[in-house]
């Protein structure tokens, strides 16, 4: 699918005004070989623990975007090169992390789109805590399972329906 977030915003000003289309703040860095990606959201809420992230990426992605609400933590990474490879191998369209990633060179070699706040060399804890398929908050925007995520070089959009 070819799209431009700028064009989507222009074409759907009514949805922006109605609050069914949101533009995330421009705080996310881009990783992975796919500069543009979109798909329905699968959501996780974790904090400095990536066990659920791995378990989810081990399942068939079917073109979905994994949205990880990591609470905005900048103290460790939730996604690294091995998980990006899982995402690529299992058909995920992309990953959006409200937190950090690591292994940037490995991420950039994968055919998947990734957005995250920053890089951090330390891996996360592995306790298995968190929730899946719930409403999460990403940079002040609510994201529900099934919402559509559109990301390209200009930004990231969250839409209640496919555009």
Domain at 22, CATH number: 3.50.30.40
Helix (H, G, I), strand (E, B) or coil at 104: helix
- CB-based contact 157:23 (threshold 8 Å): yes
Q: What is the pLDDT of residue 1?
A: 73
Helix (H, G, I), strand (E, B) or coil at 36: coil
The Cα–Cα gap between 158 and 138 comes to: 10
Domain total of the chain: 1
Question: What pLDDT, in 10s, does the model give residues 71-119?
Answer: 999 999 999 999 999 999 999 999 999 999 999 999 999 999 999 999 9
21-23 and 148-152 strand pairing: unpaired
80 labelled binding-site residue: yes
103 labelled binding-site residue: yes
Q: How many CB atoms lie within 10 A of CB 15?
A: 18
115 labelled binding-site residue: no
The Cα–Cα gap between 55 and 75 comes to: 21
N-term to C-term CA, the chain: 11
Domain containing 144 equals 5-159
82 labelled binding-site residue: yes
pTM of the model: 0.97
Question: What pLDDT, in 10s, does the model give residues 26-71?
Answer: 999 999 999 999 999 999 999 999 999 999 999 999 999 999 999 9
């Amino acid at each position: 699918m070819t799209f431009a977030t700028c064009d989507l915003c222009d074409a759907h000003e009514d949805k922006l005004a109605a609050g069914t289309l949101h533009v995330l703040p421009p705080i996310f860095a881009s990783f992975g070989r796919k500069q543009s990606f979109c798909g329905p959201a699968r959501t996780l809420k974790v904090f400095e623990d990536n066990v659920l992230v791995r378990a989810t990426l081990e399942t068939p992605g079917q073109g979905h975007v994994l949205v990880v609400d990591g609470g905005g933590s900048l103290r460790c990474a939730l996604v690294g090169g091995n998980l990006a490879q899982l995402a690529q191998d299992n058909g995920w369209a992309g990953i959006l992390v409200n937190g950090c990633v690591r292994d940037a060179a490995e991420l950039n070699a994968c055919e998947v789109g990734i957005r995250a706040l920053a890089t951090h060399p330390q891996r996360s804890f592995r306790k298995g805590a968190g929730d899946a398929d719930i409403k999460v908050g990403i940079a002040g925007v609510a994201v529900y399972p099934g919402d559509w995520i559109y990301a390209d070089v200009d930004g990231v959009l969250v839409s209640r329906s496919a555009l």
